[in-house]
């Protein structure tokens, strides 16, 4: 009898372990599949970037604290290059901070986030922007797959504060962006970069990034931006005169033409003009020690809904009058 009880107990323990492992493996497999993305490495198709994490973060001191605390967690959890880039940016800021005046509303961590982004080694911006482009389809994907939430918040807020200060540039500023990739887009299309897009006020600086002057895959953007932010003073490379465009700025494609400069550099010239923003307004919330979550803010009710509601109320009132008359109450 004792042996029978022992065998049943061992069997129960074994089943529990296997089922628990199987469930964990299933959820890990599901999450891995959820976070898988494939991006073509040859040509870039530009559109409204519907998978982009186009979040516009509500700024508060509480949210700052949540993001700064969570940055330590993400950096230690081996988000690719995050900790290495943060440490290098931190040391760079210690050397610069005495010579630069930081606008009101910016903390040290906001500035370090900009420095992190502009680093070329390690190339944190590549992994960060890939996540921005692909993990905004819905809140579940962003929550499970996006491993740079603190950097996303800190960088977004830094740009917002700088844009609202006197750092410029003025709306309607012409900037340039060069890519050694072929970009597929048509004149008249509405597009977003769907990521943080580095541009320059200096066309020569932009064109100098082309690695192959003879290929027709070179793409030069002439961009009139209303929401780009000058980050030159907080960039690792001040000579680039960098203006950073947020993921949610919307552009109209006004021209797509073949292009060649005086030095024989060839490619395609795409002209973009800013026509607004398409963004998702969110805020940070603490989700327990070492955790945060992004919560969507309630969108304002469209005037159309007020019109529809008014019509429905009028119809309901008319139906009540008709019913009362029919019953001879009035």
| Residues assigned a catalytic role | 177, 198, 242
Residue 270 sits at φ, ψ, to 5 deg, of -115, 125
Complete DSSP assignment for 258-316: EEE-TT--EEEEEEEEEEEE--EEEEEEE-STT-EEEEEPPPPPPHHHHHHHHHHHHHH
Determine the Cα–Cα distance for residues 174 and 185; give it in Å rounded to an integer: 20
DSSP secondary structure, 126-163, as one string: HHHHHHHHHS-SSHHHHHHH---HHHHHHHHHHHHHHH
Quick one: tokens of 300?
A: 């304002």
- What distance in Å separates the CA atoms of residue 176 and residue 168, rounded to the nearest whole number? 16
Q: Is the peptide bond before 288 cis (omega within 30 degrees of 0)?
A: no
Tokens (6 digits) for 167 = 């750092």
Sign of the alpha-carbon dihedral angle for 58, 106, 91, 62: negative
Closest by CA position to 160, among listed 313, 20, 19, 277: 277
Report the C-alpha gap between 220 and 69 in whole angstroms: 40
């Amino acid at each position: 009898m004792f042996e029978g009880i022992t065998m049943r107990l061992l069997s129960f323990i074994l089943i529990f372990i296997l089922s628990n492992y199987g469930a964990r493996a299933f959820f890990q497999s599901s999450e891995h599949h959820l976070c898988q993305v494939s991006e073509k490495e040859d040509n870039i198709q530009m559109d409204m970037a519907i998978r982009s994490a186009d979040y516009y973060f509500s700024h508060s001191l509480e949210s700052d604290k949540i993001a700064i605390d969570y940055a330590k967690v993400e950096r230690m959890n081996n988000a690719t290059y995050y900790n290495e880039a943060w440490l290098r940016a931190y040391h760079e800021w210690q050397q610069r901070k005495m010579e630069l005046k930081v606008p009101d509303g910016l903390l040290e961590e906001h500035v370090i986030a900009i420095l992190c982004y502009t680093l070329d080694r390690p190339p944190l911006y590549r992994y960060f922007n890939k996540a921005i482009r692909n993990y905004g389809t819905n809140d579940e994907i962003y929550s499970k797959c996006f491993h740079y939430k603190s950097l996303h918040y800190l960088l977004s807020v830094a740009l917002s504060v700088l844009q609202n200060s006197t750092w410029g540039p003025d709306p309607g500023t012409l900037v340039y962006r060069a890519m050694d990739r072929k970009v597929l887009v048509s004149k008249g299309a509405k597009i977003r970069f769907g990521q943080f897009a580095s541009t320059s006020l200096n066309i020569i600086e932009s064109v100098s990034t082309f690695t192959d002057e003879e290929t027709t895959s070179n793409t030069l953007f002439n961009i009139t931006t209303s929401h780009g932010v000058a980050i030159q003073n907080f960039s690792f490379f001040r000579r680039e005169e960098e203006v950073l465009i947020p993921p949610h700025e919307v552009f109209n494609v006004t021209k797509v033409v073949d292009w060649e400069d005086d030095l024989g550099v060839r490619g395609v010239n795409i002209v973009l003009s800013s026509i607004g923003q398409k963004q998702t307004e969110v805020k940070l919330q603490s989700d327990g020690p070492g955790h945060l979550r992004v919560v969507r803010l309630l969108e304002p009710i469209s005037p159309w809904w007020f019109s529809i509601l008014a019509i429905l109320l009028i119809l309901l009132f008319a139906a009540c009058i008709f019913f009362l008359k029919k019953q001879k109450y009035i």
